[in-house]
Amino acid sequence: MREMSVAATSVAAARDVSPALAPMHVVHLGLVPYERALELQRAVARARISGAIPHDVLLLLEHPPVVTLGRSSKAQHLVASPALLETRGVELFEAERGGDVTFHGPGQLVGYPIVNLREHRQDLHWYLRQVEAVLMHALEGIGIPSERSEGRTGVWTNGRKIASIGVHARDWVTWHGFALNVHTDLSYFDLIVPCGLSGVTMTSVARELGADAPAMDAVAERVAASFGTVFARAPGLLDPGSLSTMLALP
């Protein structure tokens, strides 16, 4: 494991930026089925590409239990049979994001940043490191030390993986994003080889902090603020109804 400086990353991200920061819409969606959230992401991405939505958007939500397969997924990394997934009430979806197999479920903060990299830096590797920095900055703020792992995408704490990241982009606009385990039932990760990493131990904010773990809403607010810090944007709440109006959705 190699620890990285979150503060240095954040300062580097914000340098040479005007004090008048561009807005970023933050939308809290609650519990949303995976397929519905994917359709919404794609709609927001299309609007961001066309310019119909002029600012970056951060969708924050939770999913019912679901296993998703990224573009790099290998069959052997899905340990559970379809029958076992059904018994546990877990859906299965293939996704266009990068990465291998992962799990989403209640108690996990999922973030889908719809970001126009033409307004930041046209470099997906840079973007992945920035998303990691967002989560590291937020975790540091609640008292959890965090680190990167050499050659791997995601965020760890003391050698245990606490957040997974997988993204997709078209015309330099991103979607998909990150999953931070907050109060997640970690037993669901036994159904898979998380992110295709054999021997990885998954953890959560609740497991690391015990009774001192903050509520989901507090973690979501901190992550949104950290996103603004790292990406040099001014986060502002946008209600789901207003987002639907911007997208002309029913």
Catalytic positions: 195
Residues 6+ apart with CB under 8 A from 12: none
CA separation for the pair 170, 118 (Å, rounded): 11
DSSP alpha helix (H) spans, the chain: 6-14, 34-50, 82-87, 124-141, 205-209, 216-231, 240-247
Answer whether 114's CB lies under 8 Å from 174's CB.
yes
Residues 6+ apart with CB under 8 A from 115: 48, 56, 127, 173, 174, 231
CA separation for the pair 46, 134 (Å, rounded): 24
Answer whether 200's CB lies under 8 Å from 161's CB.
yes
CA separation for the pair 38, 68 (Å, rounded): 11
Residue 202 CB burial class (10 angstroms; 0-12, 13-18, ≥19): buried
Residue 132 backbone zone (phi > 0: left; psi -120 to 50: alpha; other: beta): alpha
